[in-house]
Structure 1
Amino acid sequence: MSRRGWALFLAMSLIWGVPYLLIKVAVEDLPPVVVVFGRCVLGAALLLPWTVARGGLRTALRHWRPLLAFTALEMTGPWLLLAYAEQTLSSSLTGLLVAAVPFVAALAGWLAGEEERLTRVRLLGMGLGVAGIGLLLGLDVEGLAPLPLLAVALVVVGYATAPLIVSRALPDVPGVAASAVALTVTSLVYAPFAVPRLDAAARAPADALLAVLVLGLVCTALALALFFALIREVGPQRALVITFLNPAVAVLLGVLLLDEPLTLGLAVGLPVVVLGCVLATRRGPARRTPAEPGGVDAAVP
């Protein structure tokens, strides 16, 4: 990998490990719908003009039906569910649970005929991932609430299945263009619920507002642009490896900055889940050659 590739890889490993911390800080004082709305508006404000200037908007809108499905599965649903879940769950636990996305995506892709054959190694990885999450929840069962856990499970399903829509129905849509439209649509969906609360949100503590600002500008707009640069530099499969480091960053930040406990479940579950994800997404013999996706190839936290 080139120096540019390593720089992009390290930047994305850090940037997409940070949102769980920022969401946790923001939802302490802001309603989840306001957090999602602010994030999307800021991201769209940067990416939409870029998309229009590059002529990508028309291409994206020609595929509006699958693009709406992608938007619902990748942003509109998951981001609100994450914000809701983090009102109860710690940022480190949430980040680690979302690490289940790669092996769920591998299974979903195989079932849909979009992925390589499930080898023994990949099946072992999926088993380790499930075992790691079982260890995590079993050892940290005190204080866990079923609805937030269900919300994160739905996030994982959305993140794991959205790329299938991209590969099947949006192969000609540039990733940044798809993201810009998805951010704009999500902003419009939540505007009627968030705008009436903005007056109260303006009186929120500075750290909550700063968290939303960084979440929108850095962890959404900048991160999406860097991610697609990383894909061009190293390819989509190697770019997905950042998913293995994101939960470690989320756990570390939660423990160091939010005084979240480094529980036995986190200490044992983290390495098992990460190892499972690495094995579950290992390249294997292809069943058939899918169309090369032009859009999002990994979950956006």
Structure 2
Amino acid sequence: MTNRFDLPAAVMLIALAAVWGGSFFFAEIALRELPPLTITLHRVIWAVPILLVILRIRQIPLPGAPRIWGAYLVMGALNNAIPFSLIFWGQMQIDSGLASILNGTTAMFGAVVAGVLLKDEPLTRNKMLGAGLGLFGVAIIMGPDVLTGFDPRNLAQLAILGAAISYALASVWGKTTLAGQPPMMNAAGMLMGSVILMVSIVLLVDGTPTLSLLPATWGALIGVAALSTSLAYVLYFAILTRAGAANLMLVTLLIPPFAIALGALFLGERLPASAWAGFAVIALGLAVTDGRLFQRHTVNPS
């Protein structure tokens, strides 16, 4: 089947950017009452039953091999438990829009990690140049004094970058261990794995979670679980099937504008000029990594 980036694919891509961008907004609200690890637990635990219903509707069976469930446990750590917790912790110090911009380095880190660890995805010149631009964009955001003094905001920004690297490692792990499984089963399986991990961690660090929360907090938790997680995975795999991985990567450019807009409209956030400049450089890095923007201006010799 030929990948088609048509109107339905574009609409789904924008919707995916909206719900993923919304996760930073939902987190800012939930952080007013809950610690980061507990928010991560809520995000994954409420998303699981929704995806199980989808599996049942689509008649996708649960795998029986222990090896697969072990892979889901690792995938849940790399793609959910670790990055979600790092991002939510980082948002205690920095605005949601800035967190989304730094998270936009995921695609470039993913290209580099895949190039280093996977034989069928070589580390090309474009990938290296794109990663370099992405790091330069991060340097613009963090400022020249990042190495000269301790600042909690800088540590928070590094946490977001750590989340991006964890996502990159997850993509390699998924490709090498779960390639033969149905994509929606992989989404549900890794969320179940992350629930197992986060229940233990939250009980140890935060204690037993309370359900006596403000309505706004519950709304944020439902939003980040049902929209930014369950619905996001449905859209993700639908776009992947229809438009292909290269077109899906474009969502990285669309997430920050949604997160920034929501933060500005409802949270009163305002980003400095350095954040916008850094985003522009990171976006250029993604375009270089993708390569198609420059191919269109190449003369065809045939």
TM-score interval (norm. to shorter): 0.7 to 0.9
Mapped contact 1:85–1:149 kept (Cα < 8 A): yes
Q: Does 1:168 align with 2:172?
A: no
Identity of aligned pairs, percent? 24
Change (3 A) 1:114 1:208: farther
Pairwise CA distance, 1:146:
4.2
Mapped contact 2:29–2:220 kept (Cα < 8 A): yes
Give 1:41's match in structure 2, choosing from 45, 55, 59: 45
Write the mapping of 1:138-177 to structure 2, written as runs, cut at 5 A. 138=143, 144-177=152-185
**Counterpart residue number, 1:217:** 226
Mapped contact 1:94–1:152 kept (Cα < 8 A): yes
**Counterpart residue number, 1:133:** 138
**Counterpart residue number, 2:260:** 251
Change (3 A) 1:62 1:250: same
TM-score, normalised relative to structure 2: 0.85
Give 1:274's match in structure 2, choosing from 269, 278, 283: 283
Instruction: Please tell me the root mean square deviation across aligned C-alpha atoms, in Å.
Output: 2.4
Q: Does 1:9 align with 2:13?
A: yes
**Counterpart residue number, 1:115:** 121
**Counterpart residue number, 2:237:** 228
Structure 1 residue matching 2:143: 3-state secondary structure: helix
Pairwise CA distance, 1:283:
6.4
Structure 1 residue matching 2:63: 3-state secondary structure: helix
Pairwise CA distance, 1:10:
1.4
Instruction: For 1:282, give the aligned amino acid.
Output: G
CA offsets, 1:83-114, max 9 Å, x none?
A: 11111121111111111111111111111124
**Counterpart residue number, 1:85:** 90
Mapped contact 1:125–1:279 kept (Cα < 8 A): yes
Change (3 A) 1:15 1:140: farther
Q: Following the alignment from structure 1 to structure 2, what is the Cα–Cα distance between the partners of residues 184 and 255?
A: 34
Change (3 A) 1:187 1:67: closer
CA offsets, 1:254-299, max 9 Å, x none?
A: 2222111221111211111111112123369xxxxxxxxxxxxxxx
**Counterpart residue number, 2:36:** 32
Mapped contact 1:33–1:190 kept (Cα < 8 A): yes
Instruction: For 1:231, give the aligned amino acid.
Output: L
Q: Following the alignment from structure 2 to structure 1, what is the Cα–Cα distance between the partners of residues 19 and 209?
A: 27
Give 1:198's match in structure 2, choosing from 209, 219, 224: 209
Q: Following the alignment from structure 1 to structure 2, what is the Cα–Cα distance between the partners of residues 252 and 258?
A: 10
Gaps spanning 5+ residues in structure 1: where?
285-301
CA offsets, 1:176-197, max 9 Å, x none?
A: 1111112122223222435954
TM-score, normalised relative to structure 1: 0.85
Give 2:63's match in structure 1, choosing from 58, 63, 76: 58
